[in-house]
Amino acid sequence: MKRSTIQTLMILVLIVSVAMVMGTCASMKGKSKAMIKMPVTIKGATYEGTDACADCHEDLVKAFKGTIHGRLADFEVKGKKGCESCHGPGSVHIENDGDVAKIIRFSNVGQEGAITPGEASAICLQCHTDSVTMDWRGNEHALNDVTCTNCHKIHQDPAKGTLKMAEPELCYQCHADIRAKENYPSHHPVREGKMKCSDCHENHGSSLHNLKTDERINDLCLKCHADKQGPFTYEHAPVMEDCTICHDPHGTVADNLLKQNEPFLCLQCHHLHFHAIFNSPDPVTGNRVKPNPHSAQMAMGTRCTQCHGQIHGSDLPSLSTPSQGKALTR
């Protein structure tokens, strides 16, 4: 094939790739804009103040004053303060004897005639615009119509905080598959109470799959597993690329959170060694080796790490092959 033809094909592939990326970004941006927007306020309604709400909702208003939102000072609030900062102006609601259709409610989010999950989130984002909530727009939860009130409850005992229930039970209400994995033999100590979901996950969104890392998944894992970080003289490629190539962090049947038992996990990338293949060359000497008749069974029943113990990387050279240590045996 001529060089000019190859160059033309490469340019076409590049153009198509860029167009696909831009189209995806545009569609996501449009979806995000349509999703996170302020709800339409009740026509003709004006602000009446929290005291007016207390005429009917005395217990709620009394409890609200003790919450983190109720204790906010005037200079800490953008716009209105109190009940109507979230529920909108309430004059029409009051004039119509407390008609629930004349006020913004959060108990029926997503139902017909009610505000959407995106609109509910937009109300919260009027104030919560910095720190962990900066990435809410377009994050995994928001894109799946999860809103703030699915996890948070504002009108409750301040001693309980704002979460409806503690982790991990709160997360398990939706992530039942993860609950199942946490009950596998090999798992992080979440059910033992030594870890919680938010130790690794940024529930309000991040630049990488709601994880508390901005670049690589490995950077998150290495905060605890620092001994695997290296740099090593002899590296294992998947270790440097992505821990989840071999490990499932939520739980597995195999030991050490491995996705499969050895040697089957390793054989997804590596072929069987010379000692497990009939009449094959020794990789060190090049001589033909006639192995034990049962060598294949022996290899399939042996863990790779019995010999290749430093599977995450090593600084030590091989004892048998000069200037080599890629086998990660020590």
* Distance of alpha carbon 148 from alpha carbon 163, whole angstroms: 10
The answer as to whether 264 is a domain residue is yes
Q: Is residue 37 part of a domain?
A: no
Q: How far is the CA of 275 from the CAs of 124, 129, 182, 308, 319, in angstroms? A: 64, 61, 38, 15, 18
Position 316 scores a pLDDT of 86
Tokens of 246: 């071999």
Q: Which pLDDT score, from 0 to 100, does residue 97 have?
A: 92
Residue 140 in domain:
no
- Domain-embedded: residue 153: no
Is position 268 within any domain? Answer: yes
**For residue 239, pLDDT beyond 50:** yes
Q: Which domain holds residue 262?
A: 226-306
User: What b/e string do you get for 225-260 counting C-beta neighbours within 10 Å, with b at 16 or more?
Assistant: eeebbbebebbbebbbeebeebbbbbbbebeebbee
89/227 Cα distance (integer angstroms): 57
Residue 97 lies in a domain: no
Q: Residue 248: inside a domain, yes or no? A: yes
User: Tens digits of per-residue pLDDT, 225-235?
Assistant: 999 988 898 89
pLDDT, residue 21, reads 54
Dump pLDDT digits (tens) for 140-190.
898 888 999 999 998 888 778 889 999 999 999 999 999 999 999 999 999
Identify the pLDDT of residue 80.
82
CB 301 within 8 A of CB 294: no
Report pLDDT for 33: 45
pTM value is 0.76
- How many distinct structural domains can be found in the chain? 1
pLDDT of residue 30: 47
- Arithmetic mean of pLDDT, 128-139: 83
Residue 131 to residue 125: CA distance in whole angstroms: 12
- Per the CB < 8 A criterion, the answer to whether 141 and 203 are in contact is yes
Domain-located, residue 58: no
Lowest average pLDDT, out of 20-34, 59-73, 179-193, 197-211, goes to: 20-34
